[in-house]
Amino acid sequence: MEPVLFYGVPQGCSFGSIVALEWLGQPYRLARINMPEDMQSDLYARFNPVRETPVLLLENGLSLSESAAILSNIAARAPDRLGYPAGSVEHERLNQMLAFLNTTFFAAFSPLWAAYEMAENPPVQRVLRDQGRALVAKAHAQLDAMLEGRDWLVGSRRSVADAYLSGLARWAQYHKAVDQAAYPNLSRLLRKLDSDPAVIFARAIEAGEQPQGSGSFRGHVTLEELLPKLAA
Ligand SMILES: N[C@@H](CCC(=O)N[C@@H](CS)C(=O)NCC(=O)O)C(=O)O
């Protein structure tokens, strides 16, 4: 079977992996995971004991978690379009950028998610939101500086790093954390990504619609259907 991406709703960081699969243009399927409830089952733990999304179930039955590993797997399927050949400067830069996005940029939103998910406690939520906004502003400034004079995050064309960013950066608007227009290099890239057909497709998928896409999406599958495909 084609690789299957388990994507989480609402607002999953898996969004970027959907975009990357659309850019890849090779057949794939999706499994929709409602967060957090669908992750609590014993069945989900068979695929990912960490109980998070995304997961990419590979053709050989290996269940791969962690966005950085999944995006690297997708990049390796098209090193001339979405990644870079091992040993090249751009390959090192891509690893560096994925690590920055997966740690610093992602983690900046953690206090905002904590405030959003916790039981009503206004004083604590205020502290968390202030902390989150400061971290998100700092991470935006860092990324904006890295993008000086560049059209894409790595090299002179799009890569899986840009796909990943498209899913994470929308959280700034969701949490009203910063005004992204204050970061001109970053906003230029985000505007470009916002109107990308794969990003529009991923947004529609998350919204539960049935978009056309690039034609490589082969439909949704359930975890029950996938269990026999899982390698021991
Ligand atoms: N280090 C993991 C983190 C994945 C992660 O935190 N996923 C979130 C969604 S963005 C999740 O599944 N959260 C579980 C929950 O909400 O219960 C990665 O980068 O893939």
Query: What ligand 1 atom has the least distance to the C-alpha of 117?
Result: 16
One domain for residues 77 and 142: no
pLDDT digits (tens, 9 = 90+) for 152-185: 999 999 999 999 999 999 999 999 999 999 999 9
One domain for residues 190 and 203: no
Query: What ligand 1 atom has the least distance to the C-alpha of 70?
Result: 20
Tracing tokens 């090779």 back to the chain, one arrives at 26
48 lines ligand 1 (CB under 6 A): no
DSSP state of 231: -
- What mean pLDDT value characterizes the chain? 97
Q: Which residues, at least 6 apart from 119, have a Cβ–Cβ distance to it below 8 Å?
A: none
Residue 141 has pLDDT above 90, yes or no: yes
User: Which residues, in sequence order, are bridge partners of residue 75?
Assistant: none
pLDDT digits (tens, 9 = 90+) for 16-60: 999 999 999 999 999 999 999 999 999 999 999 999 999 999 999
Query: What ligand 1 atom has the least distance to the C-alpha of 106?
Result: 19
66 lines ligand 1 (CB under 6 A): yes
Which residue range forms the structural domain that includes residue 73?
4-81+197-229
12 lines ligand 1 (CB under 6 A): yes
Q: Place 103 in a pLDDT band, splitting at 50, 70 and 90.
A: very high
Distance (angstroms) between ligand 1 centre and the Cα of 207 equals 19
Q: Residue 190 is encoded by which pair of tokens? A: 């985000």
Domain count for the chain:
2
The CATH number linked to 207 is 3.40.30.10
Q: Residue 150 is encoded by which pair of tokens? A: 């560049």
Identify which of 226, 199, 172 has the alpha carbon closest to the alpha carbon of residue 32. 226
Distance (angstroms) between ligand 1 centre and the Cα of 130 equals 22
Q: Are 132 and 61 in contact (CB under 8 A)?
A: no
The CATH number linked to 119 is 1.20.1050.10
One domain for residues 102 and 163: yes
Q: Place 78 in a pLDDT band, splitting at 50, 70 and 90.
A: very high
Sheet holding 28-34, edge to edge: 63-65, 55-57, 4-9, 28-34, 217-220
Tell how strand 28-34 and strand 217-220 pair up.
parallel
pTM above 0.95, yes or no: yes
| Residue with CA closest to ligand 1 atom 18 | 66
SS3 state of residue 31? strand
One domain for residues 77 and 108: no
Rounded to whole angstroms, the Cα distance separating 48 from 74 reads 19
Q: Place 232 in a pLDDT band, splitting at 50, 70 and 90.
A: confident
39 lines ligand 1 (CB under 6 A): yes
Q: Which residues, at least 6 apart from 9, have a Cβ–Cβ distance to it below 8 Å?
A: 32, 33, 34, 35, 206
Query: What ligand 1 atom has the least distance to the C-alpha of 13?
Result: 10
